[in-house]
Amino acid sequence: MSWLSPEWVSAIGTTVAALVTIPLWVVSWRAANAARRSADAADLSARAAMWIELPLITGELGNMLHVGEAVPENGSYGGQVIDDIPDRFGAITELALRNHGRSVARLELVRVGHFLGATLPGEPNFSRSYQCDQNMVITPGEVEGIDLSYTVEVSPDQRIALVANEIAIWMYAEITYRDFLDTIRRCGMAWSYTQMYGEGMYFFQPLTTEEPKFRFRI
């Protein structure tokens, strides 16, 4: 076969076309890759901006009351504010929720539970649920109070262990709300009924970031 034969000319043309196509393919791949990285960066930036705008809910428990019996879920009751361990029955009056974020949170459901033991349980057992009114909205910087009327019962043996600091009263809550995009979100929080520096009056102290199961925005 002559080097000027049609077969040789066709082969040379195909080779040249392939060599020209390879740089074009590399340029196209690099452009597509750069566009993808740019889109990913824009998406990450948008997500970060959205998280900055989201509500950030924290909670503070009200006083512990000394009561003679378990308090009704609905209805009036009376008791004495204490800063000590309850003799038998203690009542927690309110959970105050504050929005530290930059947009509103529309509350839907609040679940609360407690545990008496040496450490916070791995999984919370919520014994009470509070359905929120559809108009219950926490605006940025504002506080919304949830009437708990929640009873904590302490047995004689448990009280001895509480006084000896062998166990603690743990409270935890889960808040379900909708953000400004109407997305359902949940946040968790927990407290221990304890003394500052192991002495003095008792109060509900919020747990720190060392308790990941009960951090905000779970």
- The reply to whether 31 and 115 lie within a common domain is no
The pLDDT value given to residue 15: 58
- pLDDT band of residue 216 (cuts 50, 70, 90) is very low
Query: How many separate domains does the chain show?
Result: 2
- Has residue 11 got a pLDDT over 60? no
**Which candidate, 193, 66, 64, places its Cα nearest to that of 117?**
193
Residues 163 and 199: beta-carbon distance below 8 Å: no
* Range(s) of the domain holding residue 140: 54-214
Domain boundary among 52, 71, 90: 52
- The reply to whether 109 and 200 lie within a common domain is yes
Residues 77 and 91: beta-carbon distance below 8 Å: yes
Query: Is the pLDDT higher at 142 or at 10?
Result: 142
Return the amino acid letter for 156. P
- The reply to whether 47 and 58 lie within a common domain is no
Query: Is the pLDDT higher at 215 or at 155?
Result: 155
Domain boundary among 52, 67, 94: 52
- The reply to whether 105 and 196 lie within a common domain is yes
- Has residue 10 got a pLDDT over 70? no
- The reply to whether 31 and 85 lie within a common domain is no
- The reply to whether 40 and 67 lie within a common domain is no
Question: Helix H segments across the chain?
Answer: 6-53, 156-163
- The reply to whether 43 and 83 lie within a common domain is no
pLDDT tens digits along 145-179: 999 999 999 999 999 999 998 999 999 999 999 99
Two tokens, residue 129: 């649920």
Domain boundary among 9, 33, 52: 52
pLDDT tens digits along 22-56: 565 555 656 566 556 554 444 444 444 555 788 99
- Has residue 17 got a pLDDT over 70? no
- The reply to whether 28 and 63 lie within a common domain is no
- The reply to whether 95 and 65 lie within a common domain is yes
pTM: 0.71
Residues 148 and 92: beta-carbon distance below 8 Å: yes
- The reply to whether 113 and 75 lie within a common domain is yes
- The reply to whether 59 and 47 lie within a common domain is no
pLDDT tens digits along 82-103: 889 999 999 999 999 999 999 9
- The reply to whether 90 and 47 lie within a common domain is no
